Amino acid sequence: MTKKRHQELDLTDEQVLEMYKTMLLARKLDERMWLLNRSGKIPFVISCQGQEAAQVGAAFALNRKEDYIAPYYRDMGVVLAFGMTAKELMLSAFAKADDPNSGGRQMPGHFGQKKNRILSGSSPVTTQVPHAVGVALAAKMEKKDFVSFVTLGEGSSNQGDFHEGLNFAGVHKLPVITMVENNKYAISVPYDRQVASNNIADRAQGYGMPGVTVDGNDPLAVYQVIKEARDRATRGEGPSLIEAVCYRLTAHSSDDDDRTYREKGEVEEAKKNDSVITFASYLKENEILTDSVEQRLNDEITKIINEATDFAENAAYAQAEDTLKYVYEEK
């Protein structure tokens, strides 16, 4: 009997089902946040939709107990896989005091949680790349075998910090994996008005590291290349650049109207490759996602999201005076 694709990657049925569950949870949480936004309950949403396969496939290839991640604002799939809960993400969406990312200080999507080794992020894009390189430098100096993993969009790969960070990592052969989630748009500007090279992965050549373009709608393909990159890093062979080609299925954010710059037909076409659907098909073909399992998963996720929403909506905001806290260390 020929091995199935996930078995060739040494992934068990349980593991791929867990991957799917994480993707679906990210998608459904994101959809709920849009509903909450459109009903006036939360001020802002920035989406992961269309990028879940890349995010979850990559995260599962890392050591989720030891590796450090510097995610960007769309990476709900990554942070869920690294231990942030639906409840915590909803607390962030509602800007409540117990939001572990920022205590309600930052907009949603600005992830950070020390206990899960999720570096805090900001809004000026690409600043996280040198941070991940710095963590990798620490790993090398301290002779630890964890790696750091940093993500960004293709538009962000034009920033100086991308160049400075990757070159630094290349020169010092640091264990850092950079994954560009190429979703084809930087807000309204398409790839060919952003990037002069045919693909993002080609840029790796200038930094002395391997560059790989992978189908970002295929979580198993992404898993494979990130796993290989991680193996290289822990063998002391240095950094890698991975480009996961996806498509942004929503507008840039809840404040954007993408009808002003892209055709509806293009989005409809992309939805045919929606990884949440295509990966479900793969799991069904292989009798991992049976009807009863699917029903159970859906029920479970609906329950998780309902509970998270209610919990976060009813949670307390920070006190007004908390504005003044934590500018400097408080002894």
- The residues annotated as belonging to the active site are 248, 252, 261
Q: Which stretch binds other proteins (CB under 8 A): 22-30, 96-104, 179-187, 243-251?
A: 96-104
Decide if residue 205 touches other proteins (CB under 8 A).
no
Residue among 22, 47, 49, 102 that touches other proteins (CB under 8 A): 102
Q: What tokens were used for 292?
A: 């009863």
Residue pair 61/227 in contact by the 8 Å Cβ criterion: yes
- Residue 183 pairs in a beta bridge with none
Residue window 235-264: x/- pattern of binding to other proteins, with contact defined by CB under 8 A: ------------------------------
Q: What tokens were used for 61?
A: 């290839």
Decide if residue 134 touches other proteins (CB under 8 A).
yes
Residue among 7, 15, 85, 120 that touches other proteins (CB under 8 A): 120
* Cβ at position 44, least distance to other proteins in Å: 16
Residue 108, classified by CB atoms within 10 Å of its CB into exposed (0-12), middle (13-18) or buried (19+), is buried
Decide if residue 175 touches other proteins (CB under 8 A).
no
* Cβ at position 330, least distance to other proteins in Å: 8
Residue 113 to residue 59: CA distance in whole angstroms: 16
Q: Dihedral angle at the C-alpha atoms of 301, 302, 308, 312, nearest 10 degrees? A: 150
Residue 17 to residue 136: CA distance in whole angstroms: 31
Residue window 30-69: x/- pattern of binding to other proteins, with contact defined by CB under 8 A: --------------------------------------x-
- Distance of alpha carbon 170 from the chain centroid: 23
Closest to other proteins by CB, 43 vs 208, is 208
Residue among 141, 196, 316, 320 that touches other proteins (CB under 8 A): 141
Decide if residue 326 touches other proteins (CB under 8 A).
yes
Residue pair 100/84 in contact by the 8 Å Cβ criterion: yes
Residue among 132, 200, 220, 226 that touches other proteins (CB under 8 A): 132
Taking alpha carbons only, the member of 238, 90, 207, 190 closest to residue 100 is: 90
4: left (phi over 0), alpha (psi -120 to 50) or beta: beta
Residue among 137, 212, 229, 270 that touches other proteins (CB under 8 A): 137
Residue among 164, 228, 256, 313 that touches other proteins (CB under 8 A): 164
* Cβ at position 142, least distance to other proteins in Å: 8
* Cβ at position 118, least distance to other proteins in Å: 9
Placement of tokens 């459904």 in the chain:
28
Decide if residue 265 touches other proteins (CB under 8 A).
no
Decide if residue 15 touches other proteins (CB under 8 A).
no
Decide if residue 316 touches other proteins (CB under 8 A).
no
Decide if residue 325 touches other proteins (CB under 8 A).
yes
* Cβ at position 168, least distance to other proteins in Å: 5
Residue 138 to residue 213: CA distance in whole angstroms: 28
Q: How many CB atoms lie within 10 A of CB 40?
A: 7
Residue pair 318/91 in contact by the 8 Å Cβ criterion: no
Orientation angle between helical segments 128-141 and 160-171, nearest 10 degrees: 10
Which helix (H) or strand (E) is 88 found in, with range?
helix 86-93
Question: Binding residues for other proteins, per CB under 8 A?
Answer: 68, 70, 99-103, 105-106, 110, 112-114, 119-120, 122-124, 127, 129-142, 148, 160-161, 163-165, 167-168, 171-172, 325-330
